[in-house]
Structure 1
Amino acid sequence: MFDRLATDPALAAARVLATATQERAAADRAEARLLVAACDWADLHPPESIHLAACFDAPPGSEREEQIAGQGCPLVAEFSLAELAAALGMSTTAGKRLVGHALELRHRLPRLWHRVQDGQVQAWRARRIAEATIHADLEPTAAAYVDRMVAPYAERIGVSAIDRLVAEALARCTTVTDATIDDENSCGHDPRHVTVHDPLAAYDTTVRVEAEVDLADALARGAEELRALGSTAPLDVRRSRALGHLARHQTALDLTTDQRADSDRDDPHTPAREVVLHVRLAAAVTTRGEVHLDRLAELEEGPRQVLLDQVRSWCAASHTRVTIRPVLDLAEQIRAPGYAIPPRLREQVVHRDRTCVFPWCSRPARRCQVDHVTPYDPERPDTSTGNLAALCTFHHRLKTHGGWSYTPLGPGEYLWRSPHGHHYLHDHTGTRPVDRPRPRP
């Protein structure tokens, strides 16, 4: 058989195409069944499943019901979403979005839901439409109108066409005026937004910004003014610089009088940008006592790598304040006498864990809380390096009130156990499940 495929390229190509088509169809069916499973999980965890929901003296931070889809969709017990997300190998936010899309499709977009389950529309197309209707916070009648408009054509069009068709349906069923925007019961939808896409690795120290603005703002001639002032940069680069001027609250007069638009030198008339960046630099000391810095620096915000030359240019610019903190030994055991965590100990935990240590959570540790792994006991206090970890607010509540537990195995390494008995190992490289294979039911 393999010899025949090797000698007949047409037969080999047909076989590859058939295999690819079959695998794509199988993946689409699996994604449709995953949406059903997400709905089933939500049905198993209604607000009534929260045992403290009916108590008036429920402790602060305990579990509560959550609306994760549009009006008319059932509420869900919020802690249950973390269990499903971890089992699927995704963050809690991604798992919440999956369940929300499934509920939105089943309850508010039934035509689209049935077409997905019949194999006529791919799940990712339906989820993109569900995300738009959830984001618009439409009333059920408006969502039904979008369903009638979009469902018959969802499988025939691409991503951009889907977005345009949803936007047209939203525009036809809503009227955006000052009155409707102010009325919280209206279905008015303002599509304007600015989204900053922060890549995980960008050596050129740039980020991608996606924006939807008023037509008059989009036709502003800032890029043409830069060209008239002598800029030879491409159009897209001039647009980016013009947007940077606007972001720094640059007035039109300052923009037209700035004769150094293409220069990296600072303009004293331009308001200084206030950006706080935490940069880690690896250094080595030679036998002569000279300090050599690694050519790559780690930027905590992101995180991503930047070149040392870029860090030098940031520090050399005027209006820049540089703060150098003492080097922390991440292996040192620091102890505090009481419950409060001193700044030096907190800083050590932030640098050691880098992110929230819950499975698949990527929230930066600097924006997290510091949790006592073993609950604090005034009689035997243990506020030390080995008993502290970075947890974001939600996962801190989940660990305290949701039945999750974890054990430190080493610096920055934690073994988690879910309420359903699943185990996950989290370290600097990420998260992986460590459960033994279970027999099929």
Structure 2
Amino acid sequence: MAPSRVERMIEVAAALKAGEVEDLTASDLLASIRAERDAENAAAARQLALAARWADLHPPESIHSAASFAVPGCEHEEPIAGEGTPLVAEFCVAELGTVLGISTTAAKKLIGHALELRHRLPRLWAQVHAGAVPAWRARTVAETTIHTNPALTREAAGFVDAQVAAVAGRIGAAQLDRLVAETITRYDLAVADPTADPDDGYLHVDPRHVTVHDQDVHFAGTMRIEAEVDLADALDLDRAVAHDAATQKALGSTESLDARRAKALGNLARTQTALDLADPGTDSEDLPPAREVVIHAHFDATLSGDTTIFGPTGRMENGQRLVLLEQIQAWCGDTRTRVTIKPVIDLHTQLTGQTRKIPATIREQIILRDRTCVFPNCGRPARGCDIDHLVPWDEHVEAEGRPQPGPTTTSNLAALCRFHHRLKTHSPWRYAMVAPGVFEWTAPHGYRYRRDHTGTTELDPPDPPGVPRPLRR
């Protein structure tokens, strides 16, 4: 008798576990791929539930501060989730992020989405755990309802939940924007705008933005730009880019159309910058530099450790930005670009200050050495970070005749962003420098991480309660 479908699936799972993929038929492969997809969705749903439970275990009373997203470029903060969701102790977020191998900001989003779904989008939450809606789709809806401006009340979020759940989460970005706009109008949440059409709720939502993803730099020395602009502006920009790309080709460029369009966008930006800097009536040949680049360049691979298939590389002032030697040569050859090469500081020299205040030379050395905040998985550029004494400076040693336990010296300093500086100072998190630029962190629950220029590596996990780890030989 032929095996049943369940029996066949068990056989397929066993074959996959044994690595015998080549023996599977096309039907078995399709069934297996679908089963893996279902398992992935189920795991993501469980992760949301666990993240919400982690938040439950850490109410704000535990450290007297609620978790929030820091909005880049602004002084105010946004809540981790919408109205009606519980507050969360901010420092617990970092530990969840390190266990998952993601940044603290990404962990905040995970917890925020979980709380938003559980408390304000309960129908969608139920569908996620029933397997009817994948977690990623539900999280997209939660991200929108959390950050809508003006903010959605709990009742308004419930309306969005009912509408999205009715179609099992199958709603595109444009449809979701229109639904939110209708919700804002229905619940009278929009700020009065005398220029807006009162019958057109969509006008209350302004999706325009320009985002430069400066933390996501490709090894080819490129960076991604994302924008949502007015229709007329978009068409004007497209025409300008197309015209410049065509001009480049007419002048002999052999690059692809995409490459020429990308270069055209940069040309457009530099031309406008130069025009803005110049006095009215200035001849185009007398325009000031349209691009100014500050570079700390290390091109000896034995020193920087950075090599790519594209050729010799160094790093720009932002420690995350790889730059190719050919790029710098091209910039220096452009008469509209002003390139400043900073004197190179020896990163291997031990520098020491005499007070708690960190001298400019030592600060610069730490910034260049660490490149980013040295907390696990944090990518905030070191130039915007605090410089932390690993062992705190003691203000009372001179009066008491004791040696300084936390000197202002290279081996006792590290770059920490403000959040992770506070985390280190006011929570059980601890860290030490085990080699220049190499740090080992210990989380409150015993998890350990090594952070260096290559990224974050998890070290030996903590021992389970009552189970000692065997000795290594």
Instruction: Please classify the TM superposition score into its range, dividing by the shorter chain length.
Output: 0.7 to 0.9
Between 1 and 2, higher relative CO (CA 8 Å, sep ≥ 6) is seen in: 1
Aligned residues: CA RMSD: 3.7
TM-superposed CA distance for 1:299, in Å, is 3.0
Paired residue for 1:12? Answer: 25
Q: Is the 8 A contact 1:145 1:169 kept in 2?
A: no
Q: Distance in 2 between matches of 1:328 and 1:102?
A: 46
Q: Is the 8 A contact 1:86 1:360 kept in 2?
A: yes
Residue identity matched to 1:214: D
Structure 1: state its 5+ residue gaps.
Answer: 54-64, 255-265, 286-293
Residue identity matched to 1:25: D
Paired residue for 2:183? Answer: 173
Summarize the Cα distance change of 1:438–1:40 in structure 2 as closer, same or farther, 3 Å threshold: same
Is 2:165 aligned against 1:147?
no
Summarize the Cα distance change of 1:269–1:193 in structure 2 as closer, same or farther, 3 Å threshold: farther
Paired residue for 2:135? Answer: 123
Is 2:318 aligned against 1:301?
yes
TM-superposed CA distance for 1:236, in Å, is 5.5
Paired residue for 1:278? Answer: 295
Q: Distance in 2 between matches of 1:230 and 1:17?
A: 48
Q: TM-score, normalised by structure 1?
A: 0.79
* CA displacement, residues 227-269 of structure 1 (integer Å, 9 cap, x when unaligned): 7878658776676566546645739x99xxxxxxxxxxx9536
* CA displacement, residues 199-226 of structure 1 (integer Å, 9 cap, x when unaligned): 7553543322111111121222434654
Q: Distance in 2 between matches of 1:374 and 1:365?
A: 19
Is 2:83 aligned against 1:71?
yes
TM-superposed CA distance for 1:172, in Å, is 1.8
Q: How many residues align?
A: 402
Q: Distance in 2 between matches of 1:208 and 1:98?
A: 24
TM-superposed CA distance for 1:420, in Å, is 2.1
Q: Distance in 1 between matches of 2:108 and 2:360?
A: 34
TM-superposed CA distance for 1:178, in Å, is 6.7
Residue identity matched to 2:230: D
1:275-424 map, 5 Å: 275-283=292-300, 295-301=312-318, 303-378=320-395, 379=397, 380-381=403-404, 382-424=407-449
Q: Distance in 2 between matches of 1:345 and 1:433?
A: 29
1:96-245 map, 5 Å: 96-136=108-148, 137-154=151-168, 157=170, 162-175=172-185, 179=192, 188-198=204-214, 200-220=216-236, 221-223=239-241, 226=244, 232=250, 240=262, 243-244=265-266
Q: Distance in 2 between matches of 1:164 and 1:341?
A: 51
Q: Distance in 2 between matches of 1:26 and 1:104?
A: 23
Paired residue for 2:470? Answer: none
TM-superposed CA distance for 1:275, in Å, is 4.3
Summarize the Cα distance change of 1:227–1:387 in structure 2 as closer, same or farther, 3 Å threshold: closer
3-state DSSP of counterpart to 2:428: coil
TM-superposed CA distance for 1:357, in Å, is 0.8
3-state DSSP of counterpart to 2:85: coil
Q: TM-score, normalised by structure 2?
A: 0.74
Q: Distance in 1 between matches of 2:21 and 2:60?
A: 61
Q: Distance in 1 between matches of 2:160 and 2:267?
A: 38
